[in-house]
């Protein structure tokens, strides 16, 4: 079982994690009518009485936007204030992950978003490496990413993650670490819970927003950093056949950070990953507040 942080925010108050329990009749449990966020926090290496959160404002903004799809008005500044208090309540001593969640909290059986109560909770857990930093093996999933015309993919809607779950389990049970999903047009989309990047001839390629991807915050950060480093970045449809002949492939996400891909199906990729390593080192320095250029991306919380 994960090491959960001791205090959760539930029903507009802070309570022991073990007391933050939902009814089995909760509407969102049955219909996937929830939306979540995820952000990492670390103790400041230069001052352990300070906690560093990476791009907290963007994470809160995205969750607020996700809540709108559920007809729930939850301002980003409200989310941010709760998360800051949540961190102070827990006094974390090691790297951790925060999971805020908005959901239809009524007890009922009618699938709807109108005339139904909504609520918001936050919990956290200690988290080191989500995927191996040495690299992962990937298979092309038999499951396809949903289309934006059938699901609001610009929100992290909980019900959408059945596809991710099916793809991840299929990959692991067939001997791989992770899945790569295609979209309905047959183009490379993303991994089970991560965006994907391809490096060819010194250029960085990524599926664009028109490819039914999640608008990843780590993805956005990587593109900004790469362009600042003078790396040409191109957002466009990516074909499956580009993957095995790529110079480098890596995955990105809040939990995964930057994770290199070492094998796709039966194709081994190069162990020389200069672009991936450059970007990963840069991102690590930024999240640890060691790069003044991107200091605005790091939110500092001082523990009492």
Q: pLDDT by residue (tens digit) across 113-171?
A: 999 999 999 999 999 888 999 999 999 999 999 999 999 999 999 999 999 999 999 99
125 burial level (CB within 10 Å; 0-12, 13-18, 19+) = middle
SS3 letters across the chain: CCCECCEEEECCEEEEHHHCCCCCCEHHHHHCCEEECCEEEEEECCEEEEEEEECHHHHHHHHHHHHHHCCCCCCHHHHHHHHHHHHHHHCCCCCEEEEEEEEECCECCCCCCCCCCEEEEEEEEECCCCCCCCCEEEEEEEEECCCCCCCCCCCCEHHHHHHHHHHHHHHHHCCCCEEEEECCCCCEEEECCCEEEEEECCEEEECCHHHCCCCCHHHHHHHHHHHHCCCCEEECCCCHHHCCCCCEEEEEECCCEEEEEEEECCEECCCCCHHHHHHHHHHHHHHCCCCHHHHHHEEEEECC
pLDDT at 220: 97
* pLDDT at res. 43: 95
- 264 contact partners, CB below 8 Å, separation of at least 6: 137, 138, 139, 140, 180, 243, 244, 249
Mean residue pLDDT across the chain: 96
Torsion sign, CA atoms 137, 140, 142, 144 = positive
Q: Are 65 and 53 in contact (CB under 8 A)?
A: no
State yes or no: pLDDT of 24 exceeds 90. yes
Is the distance from CB of 275 to CB of 23 less than 8 angstroms?
A: no
Structure tokens at 45: 């290496």
Is 280 a residue whose pLDDT tops 90? yes
Coil/strand/helix, residue 58: helix
Q: Give residue 17's pLDDT band: very low, low, confident or very high (50, 70, 90).
A: very high
Residue 277 confidence class, pLDDT cut points 50, 70, 90: very high
Please state the pTM of the whole predicted model: 0.95
Tens digits of per-residue pLDDT, 48-104? Answer: 899 999 999 999 999 999 999 999 999 999 999 999 999 999 999 999 999 999 999
d(CA 120, CA 128) in angstroms, rounded, equals: 26
Which residue segments constitute the domains of the chain, with CATH numbers given? 7-126 (3.30.470.10), 136-287 (3.20.10.10)
Task: Say what the pLDDT of residue 2 is.
Answer: 86
Average pLDDT in the 261-273 region?
A: 97
Phi, psi dihedrals of residue 74, rounded to the nearest 5°: -130, 100
- Record the tokens describing residue 101, joined without a space: 């969640």
What's the confidence (pLDDT) of residue 304?
A: 79
């Amino acid at each position: 079982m994960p090491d959960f942080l001791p205090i959760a925010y539930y029903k507009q108050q802070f309570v022991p994690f073990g007391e933050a329990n939902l009814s089995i009749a909760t509407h969102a449990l049955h219909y996937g009518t929830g939306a979540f966020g995820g952000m990492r926090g670390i103790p400041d290496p230069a001052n352990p009485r300070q906690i560093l959160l990476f791009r907290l404002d963007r994470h809160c903004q995205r969750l607020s936007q996700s809540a709108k799809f559920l007809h729930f008005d939850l301002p980003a500044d409200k989310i941010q204030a709760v998360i800051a208090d949540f961190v102070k309540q827990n006094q974390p001593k090691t790297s951790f992950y925060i999971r805020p969640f908005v959901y239809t909290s009524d007890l009922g059986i009618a699938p709807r978003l109108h005339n139904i109560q909504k609520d918001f909770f936050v919990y956290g857990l200690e988290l080191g490496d989500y995927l191996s930093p040495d690299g992962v093996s990937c298979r092309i999933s038999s499951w396809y990413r949903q289309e934006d015309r059938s699901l609001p993919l610009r929100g992290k809607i909980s019900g959408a993650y059945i596809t991710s779950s099916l793809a991840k389990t299929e990959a692991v049970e067939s001997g791989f670490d992770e899945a790569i999903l295609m979209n309905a047009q047959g183009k490379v989309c993303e991994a089970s819970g991560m965006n994907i990047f391809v490096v060819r001839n010194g250029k960085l390629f990524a599926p664009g927003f028109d490819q039914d991807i999640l608008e990843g915050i780590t993805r956005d950060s990587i593109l900004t950093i790469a362009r600042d480093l003078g790396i040409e970045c191109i957002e466009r449809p990516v074909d499956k056949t580009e993957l095995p002949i790529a110079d480098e492939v890596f995955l990105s996400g809040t939990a995964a950070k930057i994770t290199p891909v070492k094998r796709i199906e039966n194709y081994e990729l190069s162990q020389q990953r200069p672009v991936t390593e450059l970007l990963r080192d840069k991102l690590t320095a930024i999240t640890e507040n060691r790069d003044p250029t991107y200091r605005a991306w790091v939110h500092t919380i001082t523990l009492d």
